[in-house]
Structure 1
Amino acid sequence: MEGLTDEEYFWEPVRDCWSIRPRGTSAAPVSEGPGAWTMDFASPDPVPAPVTTIAWRLAHIIVSCLGYRVGWYFGGQDVDSGTFAYAGTAGEALKQLDEMYGRWNAGVRELSDADLENPPTGGPERFPMENRVLHVNRELIHHGAEISLLRDLYRRQDGAVPHRI
C-alpha cells in the first residue's frame, strides 16, 4: 500500500462504483457510518454487485474482515459498520488498517492449540477458531489482491486502445 494517494484511493474505474463518500453525496441505497464519510451499501447485495473503489475495499477489510472479529474474539472496542468512522483520506485508512491488523495479529498470536481447535467464545460464528483464522487470512489475501489490481489499472490509465486479436 506504500504510496497510496487520495486520488488513487477514491478512483472510480467505471460508473456507479461503490466507495467511501462525504456524507449526503451517495447514490447507493444505504450510506453507513456516523461521521463525515460514509460507506456505500445495500442489503441484499445488488446483482450484479457494483465495482468498488480502493477506499471501499480497505473499509471492508478494516471493518468487516478484521474489525468485527477482533471485537468478537479478542475483546476491546467492538467495531460495527454503522458506527465506524470511515477514513476520508488514504493515509487515514492505512493507519486504520495498520491498527486493526495489529490487533488481529496480536490476538491470533496469543491463541493456544486448544483455542484453535474450539469455536470462539465470542461472536456468532461456531466454527473452530483455526477455521476463523484461515477465513480471515483468505479474505485479506483476496481483497488485498483486488486492491493490487485496481492500483495496477490506475497506474496504466494511458488512454491506449486495447490490442484486439
Structure 2
Amino acid sequence: MTDQTWNPLLREQLALHRTSQLRARLDGLTDDEYFWEPAPHCWNVRPRGTGTAPVRAGSGAMTIDFAMPQPDPPPFTTIAWRLGHVIVGVLAVRNATHFGRAATDYQSFEYAPTAAAALTQLDTEYATWLAGVESLGETGLTRPCGEAGFSEGPYAGRPLAALVLHINRELIHHLAEVCLLRDLYLYTHEQTRQEAS
C-alpha cells in the first residue's frame, strides 16, 4: 500500500464541488437576485446609511447587516449577505491569517455593490485559499492553526487540516444555500410573471 497524500484530496473535495456543481450555477447572478429579500427584515448588504441592523459593517459604500450577539432566531439572510459572509468571514480572514493576504475583517472589508463584483471577490478569495492550502504541502497540514486572529477559536490547537475541512464544509454549505435561493427567486418570479400575463 502506498502512502496517501492528503493535501491533494482536501483540495480536490472543494475544487470538484466548485467545478462540477457550484460555479456554473452562480453564472448570470443578477443584482435583483443578489439583493432580493424573500422574507421580512432580512439581513442584507446595503448602501451605507440605509440599514437598520444593530451592526452595519464595511469600509466602502456598502455595509453588511449584523448584530452581536446574534438574535435568536437570526434574521433570514440574502444572497448578498451569504456571499459577503463567505468572501470575508470564511475566506478572506483566513487568507490574511494564514496565506499572506492583506489583513481584513467584517468592519474593514469593502462589500460588493453588484452581483458581478461579488462573484469576482469570491473567485479571488477562493483562488487564494486553494493556492494557500496547496502551499502547505503535507507537513503544513499537521501544523497547529495557532491563535491567528479571532477566526481560529476552537481550531487554535488543532492542525491546519482540521481548519481546511471546516472551510470546505462552510463553503459547500453556504454556497448551496445561495444556489437554493437562486432557485427560489427564479420560481417565485416566474409565477409572478405568469400571473401578470
- TM-score normalised by structure 2 residue count: 0.78
Q: Aligned residue for 1:10?
A: 35
1:120 is displaced (CA, Å) by: 2.9
Q: Aligned residue for 1:162?
A: none
Question: What CA distance in whole angstroms lies between the structure 1 residues aligned with 2:77 and 2:113?
Answer: 16
Q: Aligned residue for 1:81?
A: 106
Out of 177, 180, 197, which is 1:149 matched to?
180
CA deviation profile, 1:24-79 (whole Å, cap 9, x unmatched): 10011110011110000100000101100000000000000001100111113012
1:132 maps to 2:163: yes
| 8 A contact 1:117–1:130 mirrored in 2 | yes
- What is the Cα-based RMSD across aligned positions, in Å? 1.4
Out of 30, 42, 63, which is 2:88 matched to?
63
- 1:3 is paired with a residue whose SS is coil
Structure with the larger helix share: 2
- 1:24 is paired with a residue whose SS is coil
| 8 A contact 1:73–1:122 mirrored in 2 | no
Q: How many residues align?
A: 160
Moved more, 13-22 or 76-85: 76-85
Following superposition, which runs of at least 4 residues in structure 1 exceed 2 angstroms of deviation?
Answer: none
Give the gaps of 5 or more residues in structure 2: 1-25, 193-197
Give the gaps of 5 or more residues in structure 1: 160-165
Out of 142, 145, 165, which is 1:120 matched to?
145
Q: Aligned residue for 2:67?
A: 42
- 1:15 is paired with a residue whose SS is coil
Moved more, 54-63 or 121-130: 121-130
- 1:25 is paired with a residue whose SS is coil
| 8 A contact 2:92–2:101 mirrored in 1 | no
1:22 maps to 2:47: yes
Question: What CA distance in whole angstroms lies between the structure 2 residues aligned with 1:69 and 1:82?
Answer: 15
Give 1:44's aligned amino acid.
P
Give me the identity figure in percent: 53
Q: Aligned residue for 2:9?
A: none
- 2:59 is paired with a residue whose SS is coil
Question: What CA distance in whole angstroms lies between the structure 2 residues aligned with 1:130 and 1:38?
Answer: 32
